[in-house]
Chain A
Amino acid sequence: MSKEILGRIASAGLNDIKKAELKKTFGKDCDDILQNLIDKEQVFVKKKGVAYFVWTRDNYILHLSQNDPKFKIVLNMVMGISHSVAKVKEHTNNIREEVTRISQQNMVNPKSDFKAEFDRRMIESSTSIGWAPFSEIRKKICESKKISTENFYSMATDLVKRHREKYEVSSGGHEGIIMRGLVHGYVRNV
């Protein structure tokens, strides 16, 4: 019955519902159930004149925010403070993230650093038709960046997939990135 009573109160929305009306509908046990809901802070009861009126918790807050100017001011102040705190927190987080990002960038930004190095080595290794073998780029980058072959191909695969419109790969060769089950040993800029 608790659910039904709560449902009836909720259905009244921002408008209250008389306690007497609930009693009429749900009988004597209504008092105990209402008290239980009040204890759980699920409903709110207010005396106006000789009658008692009931709301759900959320609806009562909304009712007050619309009808009670004092409450409205207090709520806005609280919300304002809460938002300000949240904004400050967010701002702090953003600054923290930015500081981390910049410091990481200054040390080494693996992805953009790899891209720049890859592009440079590709130009160095390409023939007049623009194609460059991955093996040559790999040798140069692994040596200069002190990274493993596996690491190089993992980053190269990621780079080519992320910038699909910028790089073109061609099948063949003894080593390269694997696409559609084929070794693609040559790359160039489009």
Chain B
Amino acid sequence: MYAYQLESNPYPSSPTPTEKDARILGGKRHKEAKSAILECIKELNTKVGGRDSNDGDFRVITLIQDVGSGKTHLALHIKHLQSRHNTVCTFLDLSTISPKTMSSLCNAIIKGFENEFFVQLRTKLVEYIRDRAEQGDNSAKKTLDYSFMNKLSGMTIKQKAEDLISGKASVSIENLKKFLVQWFNYYESNLIRNIITNSFDTVQNLEELLGMMAAISKLSHRFLNKIVLYEIDEFDGNQESIEFVKGIINAHLPASILLLISTPSGYAEIQGKNHSVFDRLEKANYKIDLAGSNSQEELLEIVLEYIKHNDKKGKFTQKTQDELAEKIRVLYDEFPEFRSVRSIINILYHAMEKSAELDLEKIDETAIDESIKHTYPGLKVRGSIMAIPISDFITLRRTCDGESTGLQLKRAVANLANFAHEMGNIGKLEKQNQPLDVIYQDPYGSKIGIAVVVNENHTKNYEEISNISKSSALVDKLVILTNSNIPSSESTTIVNVDKSKMVDLLYFNNKYTDHKIATLDNEKAQMLAKTVSII
């Protein structure tokens, strides 16, 4: 059993999305982009509904964003929704086709459709021939190989057509060709023949390829009442890719949408290689914008969506969502490595596996720490003097915004001064004398006073610092540790305590109070004491 009582790991493990992974789509911006694409599909469907499609019924959508931002995921998600939106969709990844010959591109387009699409189209086409035959079209009857003997034996045209659909009978190719040429153009005839015989001709040139694509679009609309969405991924400055896409745009495929997926660098390559294509892309009907796709909030929504989608038992409550979100926020803030969807999903995949191994109820700091150790072995908390393990860092970093932080830091600073005394760096500590938190003598006999002023409210900090400054007469040197950005004055040394220093101090304090300061930690703790002006 996985964390949150999930029966399987909800996170994908493949470096690029698969169709199965793409069934889940999270994130506000990704959902907005999805809505824009569906809007385009709806608009075209409305426009071509109830009439023949023509070359004016063609749309271009561009989706340009950095690698790892979820473009392919979005495209595959839309493909998964095709049946719900009166669309058939083919997904073509140009990076997987080499060399990009017309034949290989054609094969990839055909393979990109669901098998079900050709089955449906084949059925409709046979039914069309059947209807013609039933209306007395001899050419259609010959196509179905429906003879006088069949009629005498009581077999109907319908039965003959059903045998053909189920594969029990086959058509006469020569008769089929003769029939089709009366009702369809050259490319449509070829395509219908290919579909009915389940055997596709090899295309030799761009003209044939575009003819076949136009035929697919036309026949899908006419017989299935569906528009075709061509999704072309990894479109870049490759010459063959550019020629191919230019051809599609210029061909104005009827009742079709061309979704082009690229990166800003790919887009710039196209601009440099072919102004004409670039100009066409600039004039795309829809430019899908995934701006902010790697922002913290977007990433959070995406990763939480995976668990929510699989949470059949309702164990992923708002509280547990918030807890996990806090941990992810720390990872996002502190480690640039985890500022992309792929990297954070990868960590959560491994953390989820760890949760099953350790039988954890939820993904905790340990699971994340272990996952990071295995997947990013060299990763360390940047700027940490105490070399804090990532799990401790996540825990402590989250508590840094709490109301009790100030009190904890006071105790940490007092203990750090005790430690410095034990190490012989400073003289004996004197009794605490409010408002100072620590008073001691430095090695030269000067009396040092330290006060910790850490509040969320900076106005409160200024007031406290102003009051404490009055105590400067009681000591030779006054040091104030604060999270407010205040310059030191003649009488007071101000030490700025940022979040990473707070975490270091709290980590030291935990170790010190638990008597777990090892010999190896001594030097680090002394360094920490120096950074806060104790030594």
Q: Is the CB of A168 within 8 A of B294?
A: yes
Q: Is the CB of B264 within 8 A of A170?
A: yes
Task: For the complex, give the distance between the alpha carbons of A188 and B265 in Å.
Answer: 13
Chain A residues closer than 8 Å to B491, beta-carbon distance:
86
Q: Does B531 contact A (CB under 8 A)?
A: no
CB contact list, A134-169 vs B, under 8 A: 165, 168-169
Q: Is the CB of B264 within 8 A of A186?
A: yes
Q: How far is the CB of B494 from chain A (nearest CB, A)?
A: 12
Stretch at the interface among B175-183, B223-231, B266-274, B515-523: B266-274
Chain A residues closer than 8 Å to B287, beta-carbon distance:
128-129
Q: Does B473 contact A (CB under 8 A)?
A: yes
Q: Is the CB of B291 within 8 A of A170?
A: no
Task: For the complex, give the distance between the alpha carbons of A82 and B282 in Å.
Answer: 70
Q: A82-B473, A131-B267, A186-B264 are in contact. Are A168 and B489 (CB under 8 A)?
A: no
Q: How far is the CB of B300 from chain A (nearest CB, A)?
A: 14
Chain B residues closer than 8 Å to A127, beta-carbon distance:
267, 271, 282
Interface of A, secondary structure class, is mixed
Tell me the count of chain A residues lying within 8 A, CB to CB, of chain B. 29
Q: Is the CB of B291 within 8 A of A89?
A: no
Q: Does A90 contact B (CB under 8 A)?
A: yes
Q: Is the CB of B473 within 8 A of A79?
A: yes
Q: Does A180 contact B (CB under 8 A)?
A: yes
Chain A residues closer than 8 Å to B337, beta-carbon distance:
180
Q: Is the CB of B489 within 8 A of A129?
A: no
Q: Is the CB of A130 within 8 A of B490?
A: no
Q: Does B241 contact A (CB under 8 A)?
A: no
Q: How far is the CB of B268 from chain A (nearest CB, A)?
A: 6
Q: Is the CB of B490 within 8 A of A86?
A: yes
Chain B residues closer than 8 Å to A93, beta-carbon distance:
487, 489
Q: Does A115 contact B (CB under 8 A)?
A: no
Q: Does A179 contact B (CB under 8 A)?
A: yes
Q: How far is the CB of B265 from chain A (nearest CB, A)?
A: 2
Q: Does B292 contact A (CB under 8 A)?
A: yes
Stretch at the interface among B58-66, B113-121, B306-314: B58-66
Q: How far is the CB of A56 from chain B (nearest CB, A)?
A: 10
Q: Is the CB of A83 within 8 A of B470?
A: yes
Q: Is the CB of A171 within 8 A of B265?
A: yes
Task: For the complex, give the distance between the alpha carbons of A165 and B298 in Å.
Answer: 12
Q: Is the CB of B470 within 8 A of A179?
A: no
Q: Does B173 contact A (CB under 8 A)?
A: no
Interface range on chain B (Cβ under 8 Å from partner): 20 to 34
Q: A86-B491, A180-B337, A186-B264 are in contact. Are A171 and B291 (CB under 8 A)?
A: no
Q: Does B433 contact A (CB under 8 A)?
A: yes
Chain B residues closer than 8 Å to A188, beta-carbon distance:
264, 291
Task: For the complex, give the distance between the alpha carbons of A89 and B430 in Å.
Answer: 31
Closest to A135 in B: B268
Closest to B282 in A: A128
Task: For the complex, give the distance between the alpha carbons of A131 and B269 in Å.
Answer: 13
Task: For the complex, give the distance between the alpha carbons of A4 and B462 in Å.
Answer: 39
Q: Is the CB of B267 within 8 A of A129?
A: yes
Chain B residues closer than 8 Å to A179, beta-carbon distance:
336
Q: Is the CB of A129 within 8 A of B474?
A: no
CB contact list, B444-474 vs A, under 8 A: 469-470, 473-474
Q: Does B295 contact A (CB under 8 A)?
A: yes
Q: A127-B271, A190-B295 are in contact. Are A171 and B263 (CB under 8 A)?
A: yes
Q: How far is the CB of B173 from chain A (nearest CB, A)?
A: 49
Q: Is the CB of B470 within 8 A of A172?
A: no
CB contact list, B235-278 vs A, under 8 A: 263-268, 271
Chain B residues closer than 8 Å to A129, beta-carbon distance:
62, 64, 264, 267, 287, 289
Q: Does B67 contact A (CB under 8 A)?
A: yes
Q: Is the CB of B266 within 8 A of A168?
A: no
Q: A89-B490, A93-B489, A190-B291 are in contact. Are A171 and B67 (CB under 8 A)?
A: yes
Q: Is the CB of B271 within 8 A of A168?
A: no
Closest to B287 in A: A129
Interface string of B330-372 (1 = CB under 8 A from A): 0000001100000000000000000000000000000000000
Lowest 5 CB-CB distances: which A-B pairs, in order? A172-B265, A170-B66, A186-B264, A131-B264, A170-B264
Q: Would you list 21 pairs from A and B whose C-beta atoms are within 8 A, ordered by A residue? A: A10-B430, A82-B473, A86-B491, A89-B489, A89-B490, A90-B489, A127-B282, A128-B287, A129-B62, A129-B287, A130-B291, A133-B268, A169-B66, A170-B264, A171-B67, A173-B268, A186-B66, A186-B264, A186-B265, A188-B264, A188-B291
